[in-house]
Structure 1
């Protein structure tokens, strides 16, 4: 069975650990499909205050992550696993979409790549020279967050859920939004069949699998992105 390891470099481990120890991520860990570990960037900080950031050359507001602590943290991790790939969440990166996520999942299943270091940037950004260490730059969209922790969770969750043995049904990760092209999954219903006058379409109650398949295919919705 394929297994993936994520090592997250962050200043805020406490913001990440609860999510990664619940629900499907807990199941993936329990079943030895995924492993999560944390590296505190502050451990590699400079001076008595363990500084990891400084003001940008040329002036401007905010602070940038410095090269020294980031290089030291990544190099320390790679001493144990030189094959680990570095992911950087950044607005300048490739848009994180389902087809790209599947590529990562396929690499893990084939064991082509099975260890990812996710660097969580903070402050105003990072020293550009840090990019020399980065294998994948990814963006969640055209907006800016205060840090990389939320993107890190989204990246991890979206990959891990596609690995065999994580979701309940065999086809759960296939028959869903964005599985084929830029479409949203068809509408779905559960009991009761009539709720406050809003009724489940009759075809879904018919038991006729062919007609149900036709209805679902005809009711896939285009993404509004």
Structure 2
């Protein structure tokens, strides 16, 4: 594939920009505990990690027709107190600066809804991205390609001009449907154009690792 065509690099948030395993687990465990349910098992954890909050709540509370009491509880719990448990991926800022220096559009495509802005603020990343598309900004979150298509439309890009970096099957499906280049991050089981384990390796893929 011709890497020289790439004009935009788009990152998933959870599992790519940040290790959010502890934060997300603590958050959903608190929600479940409130309703007398056991903590997340491994299968549930893997699934909610990919989903929007809405998708995760519907998945975790299949027995409830009316989820309004759960959503009310979510408002009381809030996610902000769990942001401190998120760990920014090593060399993320360095890569983002290299991308800027080399003229790339830097984007985020995430199934987070209303917490991304606060995460960027807390980690001082507000000025590192030209476009941020959350699940709240589209009708259909990942695995639908709408987030990637929106970015393509905004910057008048062709599919082969975007490199999307994700860690889940939702990300892979979104990339495949949008026909964009896909980098699997720290997930060797995902079929991808490239499989990497670090931000440095992404720079190597783009040949900007001087």
TM-score, reference length from structure 1: 0.33
Which one has a larger percent helix, Structure 1 or Structure 2?
Answer: 2
Which one has a larger percent strand, Structure 1 or Structure 2?
Answer: 1
TM-score, reference length from structure 2: 0.35
Larger Rg: 1
